[in-house]
Structures are given as structure tokens and as C-alpha cells.
Structure 1
Amino acid sequence: MIKEESLLKSNILWKPSEEWILNSNLTEFSKQVEFPLLPYEHFHGWSVEQPEEFWSALWDFANIIGEKGERVLLPPADGGMLGAKWFPDASLNFAENLLSGEEGSVAVIVAGEDGISRSYTWGDLRGKVARAQEGLKSLGVSSGDRVAGVVTNGLEALVALLATTSLGAVWTSCSPDFGSQGIVDRIGQVKPKVLIVSLDYQYNGKFFDIRENIKAVCKVLEGVSAIVTLTEEVDGSIKHANKVLSWEELCQEGPTVPEYTRVPFDHPLYILYTSGTTGLPKAIVHSVGGTLIKHLNEHQLHCDVKPGDVMYWYTNTAWMMYPWLVSGLASGAAILLYDGSPLRKDHIGILWEIAEKVGVTHFGTSPKYLETLQKASYSIGQEHNLPHLRSVLSCGAPLSAEQYDWVYDHIKKDIMLASISGGTEIIGCFVMGSPVHPVRRGEITCKALGMAVDILDENGISVHNQKGDLVCTKPFPSMPLTFWGVDGDTRYEFAYFADRPGIWTHGDLAEQTAEHSLIIYGRADTTLNPGGVRIGTAEIYRVVEQIPEIEDSLVFGLPNDGDEEIVLCIVTKDGKLDDILADSIRKNVRKKASPRHVPRRIYCVKEVPYTINGKKVEGAARSAILGQTIKNKGSLNNPECLQDYNSLSERSYL
């Protein structure tokens, strides 16, 4: 390690030791392919310029179970990205790759607000999957059928997912805290054959009965042949024209080892949903092989996950980080499934208490969660002994430079902090961390291997040290197969290739630095343009949310005489906003960002609208203040708060 003083001078907060680098999976992989790992930019260049070599070598390195075949990539005839065929001769099964761990080793740890429930070995897990598989087969589920879960993040959901995919069927899920319309808007699109449901759940010490929601869903879903309830006995209140049975009845008998139906590489595996508020959520179909190999790339090469590690990410079953976590099993790691509030009202550090007890090595979270701990002055490193922790990962929003400082000051000095960014659309990342790079304050470490990431300006020119659109210029295996439903291919192409034909434009405003690290400034569709200058909302959040009096904030732009003015809505601890606080906000923004970032209007609101997956929804607030219709409110965790925004234009501001 180099001295802390020199790290600070170079804006580097952590640097891996020679031993760390030498023992990393990434170093081992570079030896296998006989290509020098450093400089990384050359190694990354090889991975995108020679995709057949890279992805084929990764298949071998990760010991993917299945037949690889001779061919790796059939590129599109037009030289673009759409229509690429990966491993066209391959045959594999997703669940088979996730269930290959040693019989007596721990595979899954289940926990909730009361602490750790119990752990399960790979042998236990295989047995449970085998029985659930037999139950699904008895209900007529076979390759290509959809099985949907409205389920909590517990063992049953995991077993159902693995049993479904073991048959070559397709898994899709929602979290039980969605309203009935939100559930129907998602899984109703894909017409599942079997629906698996939680009828109740607990969150932050409160009990929630969702039987009425489930009844409403069951009335309108088409094509469901059976409903499985996660209760000990069949609940008589759930009526359906076909079969209703309990989870115990589904899994009451069967073999101890699952059978695996091997399918082509591009066979559908998951259907995930975007959480936007403009029309129905897009139902994105992901492939078996693309998902598996992309996650193995990210886990093993970028996150340095190894057999025996313990992975955790705070997520519900609706967010893409749920399948991302589940794939950790394919690398021989145990996964921690936590169901409940991450900030239990009487114990703000419940997640870290559990992480300490089970020896979590990779802890995944969000900037909002870290910000809450920071404002509560909860010093994780002082409260908990975390000798096994090697990496903290964050996504869902940009991680501010100040939060980088806080992680190293209050969690652990010697860890790999990785802010990662990608999306539901690719079920993975464009940019992320690395076990061989230094961590630079406020910057995402590197481009993911195999991903031809670039930042382009309005003229399509690659730029450094200035903001532009994050794009990907070459095919990669985890590109969606399609969007489910009518005109799915057309809608998919329009969503990501309309702006630049043949190039994936992801919709993030970003910058690549001279050190080849990256900075994400927020979604391009929420980019502010006062005076024609592009400003990412994250640039303002970074400043405002460090002010002690402010608990939360939301930034968006409003039209004003042919230009745009910046509107800032804040949630304060005492529910008040005065001239002193408004003046302090503007001075801080002007000093730490620029005069162009200073908000024209500042309002005090009760809440900030969030999606159920925990993302701020600037567009919904903007639509509310403009009196526009807000579609797909089922995506919001707290849609009622938008009533406050409806009247903002009539209120005075500071």
C-alpha cells in the first residue's frame, strides 16, 4: 500500500496491494488468455476487438457447464449490433450452472428483520429445487412457459426461480409491495402459466396482508392454470377457475436431484420490467446464456468473487439486482437473502449486524442507504467487526465523491469500493469496479470487459473530459432478445437505437476522464439545460444532500420563456424552509458546482417520489407541476406524494 498522504494528493482513496492483484481472478484470467493485463485499456481493447476470443475464454475460465459448440459469434450482416448470434451451437441450462456447488457447503443464508433464519447447503438447495421442479412439471410447466412470482426475497422465491429455469421455462417476478395494477401491468403482459404468490409480508415491524391485491390480480390474469400460495395451507379466499395449491403441496414429493433441460444459448430465461412512468413498463426478455456469461464476467473478473465468498445485495424480487445476486451461486459463492427494511426502526445497522455474523465479503447497496447512515452518524466500522469484507458495491444512482470519503472513513479502509452502472435492459453493467485498479474519488473505475463503451457528443464524436451520451458500439451477449408482446422487436430497436442507428444509446449523461475512469451525471432524459448547457441532476444532488438540514431532494427543469429554469424540491427535518436555508443552498451549489447549477426556485415538500426499486422520479414531479397526466403510477412507491407537486406552481418559493 502507498501512503495515505500521496493517495489523497492524487485523488486516489484506495489502491490494491501487489498481493491483492496477484491473487485476483482477473490476473489469473489474463494468464489463461496469454494477454498482458496491464495497461488495462489494452486488455479491455482486446476484449472488444476480439470478442470471439474473449467470450470463449471466459466460458472456459468460469467452467460453464454445457456444450459450447464451435462458433462464438455470428455478427449481423449490416455490421451493427441488432441480430448478433452468440454461441449459436451451444446447449446449457441456467439452473444446472447455479446448482453445481459442493454438497455440504453453504449456498444460501436467509435473514429478515429479526436476524438470521437459517442457512442451506447446496445439497439442501438441490433437493428443494428437485421437489419444486416435480411440482411444476405436474402443473404442465415445460420449456418456454412463463412462471411468475409475486414473492418476497426468501428461500421459496429462489427455489421457484431455479426450478422454473431447470425446466427451460421463463421466470418473471414482482415484489409484493406493488399494487394490483402494478402487478398486472407487468406480469399480465406475459401470460404466465403458473403464478406463485406471497399473501402477506412484514416490513419495518409492520404486517401487510395483500390478499385483496392478489385476488384482484387473479381475476384479470389470462392463461394461468394454477396459483401457488406461500402458505402452509391453501387460503380459501383465493379463488381461481383452475387449481390453487400451497407451496408445501407443490413440493411434497419428488427426487432429491433435479433434472436439467438444456436449451440454446439464446433461449429466454428472464423477463424483467423497466420502472418508468410513461406507459406500460417494457417487458424485456433476457437469454439463458447471455445472462449467465455476463454475470460470470462481472462477478469473477470485476468483483473478484471466489468460491466460499458470501455475496449480498439489498434488493427486492422486482429489481435486476435480484437475478444479479442469484447468479453469484454460479461462482461458488453463498448468497445472503434478506427480506425486510434495510433500516429497521429500532436498529439502523441490522444489515451490517447480519453481514458481520455471516462473514459477507461483497456488500451491495445504494447511495441513498449510505446517505441515511451518514446522516444518522452511524459508523459501521466502529459498530461492527468486518474482517471478511473485501468489497462494497453501489448502484441505482451516482455515488457522490463525499460518499466515497465516507465509505473509507466509516466502513473500512482496505476494501474495493465499486460504483457500478448499467441497467435492467442489459441485466448487467457497462462500467464497474476492478480488483487491479485504484479507486478514485467520485469516479467509476473502468469499462466492463467485453463492453465497447464510449462517450459521444451530439455530433457522434468520442470525447474525454466533457459530458456526453453513454453508448455501446458493438454487440454483447446480454443484449435483450426482444421486448415481450406485439411489435417487440420494433419497440426494442426504437428504445436504444433510434438516436444512433447501429449504436446502443443507453440514456445516461456521462464523462470519461484522462485516467479512463468514468463519471455518471444522471439520466439523459432528466438532464437540465439552462442556457443550453447540459447539467446532470447528480451534480446538484451531490451538493444539496450534504447539507445537514436536508433529508431528501428532487431536481428537475421547467420551461421559462424559451429557456429552462432549475427547480429544487427539498424535504427538511423540521418541514420548513426559510431564507437562511435557501441562501445556504444557493451558496453551496454555486461554490461546489457552478453558478449555472444554482436553482431558480426552491420548494419545501413532504416527500420525494420514488419507484418501488428506490429510484427518484424527476419526470413524474415535473409532469405533476405542469398538470400533465402521469401514467403507470403503479411503478411508484409513494404516488400519493405527487398531490403535493400538483399545487407547487401556485405556491410561493424561495
Structure 2
Amino acid sequence: MNNRLLWTPAPEWVAQTHLSHYLQWLEQKSGYGIAADYQKAWEWSTTQPADFWASLVDYFDLPWTYSEVMQGEMPHTRWFEGAMLNYAEAIFQRADDRFPAILFQAEHLPVQEISWVELRGQVASLRAHLLSLGVQPGDRIVGYLPNIPQATVALLATLSLGAVWSCCSPDFGASSVLERFVQIEPKVLIAVNAYPYGGKRFDRRDDVRNLQANLPSLLNTVLIPYLEEFALDLPQSSSWPEIMQNQNAALMFTQVPFDHPIWVLYSSGTTGLPKAITHSHGGMLLEHLKYIHFHNDVQPGERFFWYTTTGWMMWNFVQAALLARATIVLYDGSPGYPDMNVLWKMAAELKLNHFGTSAAYILSCMKAGIDPASFGLNSLRSLGVTGSPLPHEGFAWVYEKVKSDLWLCSISGGTDVCTAFVGGNPLWPVYEGEIQCRTLGCAMESWDEAGQPLTDAVGEMVITQPMPCMPIKFWNDPDFSKYSASYFDTYPGVWRHGDWLQITPHQSLIILGRSDATLNRQGIRIGTSEIYRSVEKLPEIRDSLIVNIEQEDGTSVMPLFVVLAEGVVLDEALQKKIANTLRTDFSPRHVPDRVIAVPEIPYTLSGKKMELPVKKLLMGKSIETSVNKDAMRNPAALEVFKGMSLK
């Protein structure tokens, strides 16, 4: 395999990168003695992880006092015992008043600029309000918010107190949000009344009322009148504008241990309720300092943008750019309204330096015939892509239609770690269809079923050494049973991530999609159980199964198979009802591309729907290589999927 070379960093570029500076520092630093060579540094970082992570504390001048860097094996590794810190404090310690803290644009609003002074004042005001409610370290604060500056303020105010943040986007229905928030028993809800998308305005007042009524742990709901025509008055609520009028609040930071919970993110809910994945202040701070500086090379004053919603871990990742003294750029609205040019126009007008998006967006622009270069993207120097593997055609389009001298950073990681395991390397070239490198400290390998490492062959993505960004726990999982089952059920003591991986001879990586049945829809993982809970409440539907099939051209098709109730016909009206139900309960991303009636759904002996075998059959695999029929409750149910065409 010889993929086309698309970009090589110039020597002057390499010399100015954070990563070069760090490698030179390592080479010169007494006690480390690592040559200024990325591959050798990566090998050292993964064979001597304690030394590597300690070097970051030294390099970034973190004022920690600790007894031991790491102790214990995965999944019970403990890090930097004795260290006290606060993620939000680390952000404000790096505030640079020469540059804006935030630039914000929405499809219904012009660009707004928020200075560091303004950001500090707003965070202090909200912090004072939370304190007045009796919020303590460890208490949970949740948001039902779009990607607006108030969400950033809410995050930082929460973290400043040592409270725990969690957020969902308002394009998810209240039932989906409740499944997440009820698990962590929040004390405060911060919510908008409505939001714009695609030129339309979506009223969320009933959803906010529903959340408040069904979260008995709430002490207060903070209401943000984002769209003023949707007036909302609730008991036990406070007004965001009134809270912001407190100009005398002081911003202070509660010091917390390294492993103190920072936020809760949620899995897709494939096998039940979404897992409440909990990360730590120290783990996120170290990892984000590492990735943003070394693997994204964000420089002071640069403008960093990633198109995301608040419910995706990339939103949390965007905030981390503040650690590099950068300006974060937030956008709220549809990436396709009024047309597919909107984000590229913004990139040019705001002189973005780093533009992040999903592979699905790149492919959509390519199919729509968009010509981003016509807007003059002179300031743009990196383009980040994640969510799903970007095909060769997507790489080629970026260099032909966006910018020929652009650093394309295809990355992969996820909610589990709120970062990228594999991603950008400003010192190495970019090859078509490949991710540049395994990140420092990430001991990643490709393994076969017997647990043997593979070279230049497809296997399971595994991590063999602990990393501080790994979750400290799942909420309400005291014996670590759910945690262990999620990552360590295949290879004991080794993290299995659930992706197919190939490591090339020049140490780049190719990810070939999910090795499990999780749906990856437009760059967002969706749990199959969410689909089932919604669809199967309809009286016309007896049973259902859904999969997402990746195509060779980088697109995907998501068919929903349904078993109809007796006498029911799958007509156009029922198909519309299914789509509307999914859109209302969850989001437009949950709506399938096709609905197909089948006689029955295949099940295992233990009563689990057999999504992955069905997916394999639809991809042309044989039944013999796709499933063990002896482990099935109803083997004949697979026959209908053999040779089925989805075109």
C-alpha cells in the first residue's frame, strides 16, 4: 500500500512548533536524555509512562506537589497522589488580554467578541449564584444548551467550585436527556428556552419544564432567554441576565485532588441506558495541555474552531484551546444554512487558524461542489477531521479545494477519553487516507483475536498502558463492573477501544470503522437502544433492529428493520410516523435512511439482538463467518438478510 503524499511540513514550520520545542527540551533536560525524534520519544513515552507524564508537569510548569506519579494497573491506576489543582484555574492563569477569549457567531446573530475580562466577570457572577444555592465540590450542574458563550461560562463556573459539569444539546428530546441527567442527580439545571437551526426556531419550553419536573434533585433552574419571543417562567428558577448583573463577585478556585471528577459524558446507550463516563480534573488538564500544544500546535492568539454541539466531547475539547492562550470560536446553527458555504465564509471573515469538523461534513461539501478556497483562507493552517474515517477522496478534496499547503489532522479518540488517541503530528507528512501518528503517551497497538500485535494488518485497536485521560469511573458503578465490561472484557488488563486499526510501516494509522455495532451517524455515535426504545413504543411495531453500513466511498446507509404488528402494513404514513417519533424523542440524526419490514429479528440465546452479524451479512459476509448459529435463539431469522441490497 502506497498512499499518496499530500503535505510535508517545511523546516521553518517544524522549528516553530510546540512539539519541536518539547522534544528539544527533552533532549537537553537532565534525567530524560531522549533524542529529539518523535518516534523515539513516543516509544519512551509508552514504555516509561511515569517519566513521560511527570515531564509534562515539569514542561508546563504546573505547581504540583505529589508523592508518586502513577500506581496500580488498569483500570485502577491512580495518578499524582497529593497533587491539588483546578482545570478552570489553569485556563485563567493563561489568559492573554491581547486577544479575545471567545468569538461567537450564530445563524441568527452577528459575530460577538468576548474579552478575557468579560469572561472572568461572567464566570465570577455565575459562580457566586451557584455558591448562594449551596453548591459544593462534587455536586452536579447540568446544561441543556446549544454551543453559545453561556455554555462556556457555565462550564468554567462549575469547575471553579469543584462541582461536576454535564451537558446535552437541545436538539435531543427531553426523554433522551432525562435518561442521562437522572443518573447523576444534578442540583442545578441551566437551560435555554429555544434555539435556531436551519432557519427555523425550535421551542424547548415544554422540554425544560419536563426536565425540571422529573429531576427531583434540582434546587434551581437558570433560564437563558436565548430567543426572546419564547417567554418562559418557572418556579424555583433564576434569570441569567439578572445573575450577570452581579458585578462585585470575585473569581476564586477550589483546589481539588488530581482524580476529582470534572465532567460526565455519556456513551451512546447501545446496550441499555447511556453510561455516565466520568473524567478527572488532573487527567483532562494534562491530556489537553499535551494534545492542544503538541498534536494540534495551537499558538497564543490563534483562533481555534470546531463545529460541534455541547453534547459531543469535541465541545469540551474546544474549551481546552484556552489552555494554549488561544481564542475559541463558537458557532451555533446548521452547517448547511443558508447553504454549505456558511462555515467557510466564517473561516475567512474571522481569520481562523484551526478549523475542525467531521468527515461527514467534508464529504457533504465535496458532493455539493463547494469551493472553500474561493473565500481566501489565508490564515488557515490546520484542518481537523474526526467522527468517522475520512476516505481518500475526502483527503484529496481538502488539498484540491480548501488549501494546498494545509496541515490536515485526521484524528480519532472519543467520549471515553475526551481527546484523541491518534491524530496530528506537525513534524510528519500527511498521506492520503491516513492518520499521522499515535499520540505521545498512548501505547496503542493493533491486535488479533489471540492478543498478538499485528504489523501492517487490520486488528482490534488496543491500549496497553494506562493514561490519565481514561475515565476515573462510570457514575453509579461502584464495583467497576460496567467499566470493566466496556473496555477490558476482551483482553484482560488491556483497553479495547472498539475500532478496526491498521498501523502502517511508516507508523501512520488507518481506522476502518467500528468493530462493534455502535451507530456512527454524521460523526456522532448513536446507541441502538435509543432507537429501539423510541420505535418499539409504537403499537404498529413489534420489534426492530438497526445497523449503520459504511460504504467504500466514505458515506454510510442506516437501515431500520421492523417486525410489524399483525395486520399492519409498512406504508408511507407509518414510515413518516417512525421518522417523526425518532426526531421528536431524540434528534434528526436518529432517523434511518430506510425502513424495511422483516419476519423476525435474530437473537442470541441470552436474548440480545444480533446487530453485528446482521451488519456483516449486509456487507456481503457469509453466515458461516458472521455468526455462531449454536449461540442463536432463532437461526432462521438471519436468512432474510443474506444477499439483501440496500441500494
Aligned position for 1:49: 47
- TM-superposed deviation, 1:277: 3.5
Counterpart residue type for residue 24 of structure 1: T
Aligned position for 1:460: 451
> What is the CA–CA distance in structure 2 between the aligned matches of 1:309 and 1:256, rounded to whole Å?
30
- TM-superposed deviation, 1:542: 3.0
Aligned position for 2:303: 310
Match of 1:205 among 196, 199, 209: 199
Counterpart residue type for residue 306 of structure 1: Q
Structure 2: which 5+ residue stretches go unaligned?
28-32, 520-546, 563-571, 573-577, 609-639
Aligned position for 1:591: none
- TM-superposed deviation, 1:452: 0.6
- TM-superposed deviation, 1:131: 0.9
Structure 2 counterparts to residues 592-631 of structure 1, below 5 A = 627=601
- TM-superposed deviation, 1:105: 2.3
Match of 2:426 among 417, 421, 435: 435
1:319-376 Cα distance to aligned partner (Å, 9 max, x none): 00000001110110100011110110x3321111111122111111011111111111
1:62-99 Cα distance to aligned partner (Å, 9 max, x none): 344xx3224452321xxx31211111121111111112
Kindly indicate whether residue 23 of structure 2 is the aligned counterpart of residue 30 of structure 1: yes
Aligned position for 1:543: 553
Aligned position for 1:290: 283
In structure 2, the CA distance between the partners of 1:351 and 1:543, relative to structure 1 (3 Å rule), is closer
Structure 2 counterparts to residues 137-156 of structure 1, below 5 A = 137-156=131-150
Structure 2 counterparts to residues 299-448 of structure 1, below 5 A = 299-344=292-337, 346-382=338-374, 384-448=375-439
> What is the CA–CA distance in structure 2 between the aligned matches of 1:128 and 1:527, rounded to whole Å?
39
Match of 1:515 among 489, 506, 526: 506
> What is the CA–CA distance in structure 2 between the aligned matches of 1:54 and 1:290, rounded to whole Å?
14
Aligned position for 2:626: none
Counterpart residue type for residue 47 of structure 1: S
Asked whether the 8 Å contact 1:394–1:418 carries over to 2, the reply is yes
> What is the CA–CA distance in structure 2 between the aligned matches of 1:44 and 1:397, rounded to whole Å?
25
Aligned position for 1:501: 492
Asked whether the 8 Å contact 2:128–2:249 carries over to 1, the reply is no
Aligned position for 1:469: 460
> What is the CA–CA distance in structure 1 between the aligned matches of 2:398 and 2:40, rounded to whole Å?
30
Asked whether the 8 Å contact 1:234–1:245 carries over to 2, the reply is no
SS at match of 2:13: helix
In structure 2, the CA distance between the partners of 1:406 and 1:416, relative to structure 1 (3 Å rule), is same
> What is the CA–CA distance in structure 2 between the aligned matches of 1:23 and 1:557, rounded to whole Å?
54
> What is the CA–CA distance in structure 1 between the aligned matches of 2:591 and 2:461, rounded to whole Å?
20
Counterpart residue type for residue 146 of structure 2: T
In structure 2, the CA distance between the partners of 1:624 and 1:500, relative to structure 1 (3 Å rule), is farther
Aligned Cα RMSD in Å?
3.4
In structure 2, the CA distance between the partners of 1:526 and 1:281, relative to structure 1 (3 Å rule), is closer
Larger mean Cα displacement after TM superposition, 211-220 or 316-325: 211-220
1:414-463 Cα distance to aligned partner (Å, 9 max, x none): 11101101110111111111100100110111101001111100110000
SS at match of 1:60: helix
In structure 2, the CA distance between the partners of 1:255 and 1:33, relative to structure 1 (3 Å rule), is farther
> What is the CA–CA distance in structure 1 between the aligned matches of 2:35 and 2:597, rounded to whole Å?
48
In structure 2, the CA distance between the partners of 1:62 and 1:106, relative to structure 1 (3 Å rule), is same
Kindly indicate whether residue 183 of structure 2 is the aligned counterpart of residue 189 of structure 1: yes
- TM-superposed deviation, 1:10: 6.3
1:541-570 Cα distance to aligned partner (Å, 9 max, x none): 23374xxxxxx6348999xxxxxxxxxxxx
Aligned position for 1:249: 242
> What is the CA–CA distance in structure 1 between the aligned matches of 2:422 and 2:224, rounded to whole Å?
38
Counterpart residue type for residue 481 of structure 2: T
Counterpart residue type for residue 49 of structure 1: T
What is the number of residues matched between the two proteins?
Answer: 563
Aligned position for 2:557: 553
- TM-superposed deviation, 1:36: 5.1
SS at match of 1:335: strand
Match of 2:85 among 88, 92, 104: 92
Asked whether the 8 Å contact 1:149–1:196 carries over to 2, the reply is yes
> What is the CA–CA distance in structure 1 between the aligned matches of 2:55 and 2:119, rounded to whole Å?
29
Counterpart residue type for residue 499 of structure 2: D
Asked whether the 8 Å contact 1:196–1:228 carries over to 2, the reply is yes
Stretches of 4+ moved more than 6 A in 1? 232-236, 555-558, 609-625, 628-631, 648-654
Asked whether the 8 Å contact 2:5–2:432 carries over to 1, the reply is yes
SS at match of 1:404: helix
Larger mean Cα displacement after TM superposition, 274-283 or 287-296: 274-283
SS at match of 1:542: coil
In structure 2, the CA distance between the partners of 1:337 and 1:446, relative to structure 1 (3 Å rule), is same
Aligned position for 2:569: none
Counterpart residue type for residue 394 of structure 2: Q
- TM-superposed deviation, 1:306: 1.1
Counterpart residue type for residue 128 of structure 1: Q
In structure 2, the CA distance between the partners of 1:388 and 1:144, relative to structure 1 (3 Å rule), is same
Counterpart residue type for residue 171 of structure 1: W
Counterpart residue type for residue 368 of structure 1: A
Asked whether the 8 Å contact 2:442–2:463 carries over to 1, the reply is yes
> What is the CA–CA distance in structure 2 between the aligned matches of 1:325 and 1:95, rounded to whole Å?
14
- TM-superposed deviation, 1:251: 2.7
Aligned position for 1:111: 105
> What is the CA–CA distance in structure 2 between the aligned matches of 1:120 and 1:511, rounded to whole Å?
43
Aligned position for 2:8: 15
Asked whether the 8 Å contact 2:549–2:557 carries over to 1, the reply is no
Structure 2 counterparts to residues 111-130 of structure 1, below 5 A = 111-114=105-108, 116-130=110-124
- TM-superposed deviation, 1:123: 1.2
Aligned position for 2:160: 166
1:244-267 Cα distance to aligned partner (Å, 9 max, x none): 111122332143641111111111
- TM-superposed deviation, 1:526: 3.8
Asked whether the 8 Å contact 1:147–1:171 carries over to 2, the reply is yes
Asked whether the 8 Å contact 1:229–1:235 carries over to 2, the reply is no
Counterpart residue type for residue 219 of structure 2: S
> What is the CA–CA distance in structure 2 between the aligned matches of 1:272 and 1:540, rounded to whole Å?
26
In structure 2, the CA distance between the partners of 1:292 and 1:90, relative to structure 1 (3 Å rule), is same
Counterpart residue type for residue 58 of structure 1: L
In structure 2, the CA distance between the partners of 1:81 and 1:557, relative to structure 1 (3 Å rule), is farther
SS at match of 1:58: helix
TM-score with structure 1 setting the length: 0.80
- TM-superposed deviation, 1:117: 2.8
- TM-superposed deviation, 1:616: 8.1
Asked whether the 8 Å contact 1:98–1:329 carries over to 2, the reply is yes
> What is the CA–CA distance in structure 2 between the aligned matches of 1:116 and 1:237, rounded to whole Å?
24
Asked whether the 8 Å contact 1:115–1:354 carries over to 2, the reply is no
In structure 2, the CA distance between the partners of 1:467 and 1:555, relative to structure 1 (3 Å rule), is farther
1:624-644 Cα distance to aligned partner (Å, 9 max, x none): 88547999xxxxxxxxxxxxx
SS at match of 1:343: coil
> What is the CA–CA distance in structure 2 between the aligned matches of 1:186 and 1:515, rounded to whole Å?
42
Match of 1:68 among 42, 48, 64: 64
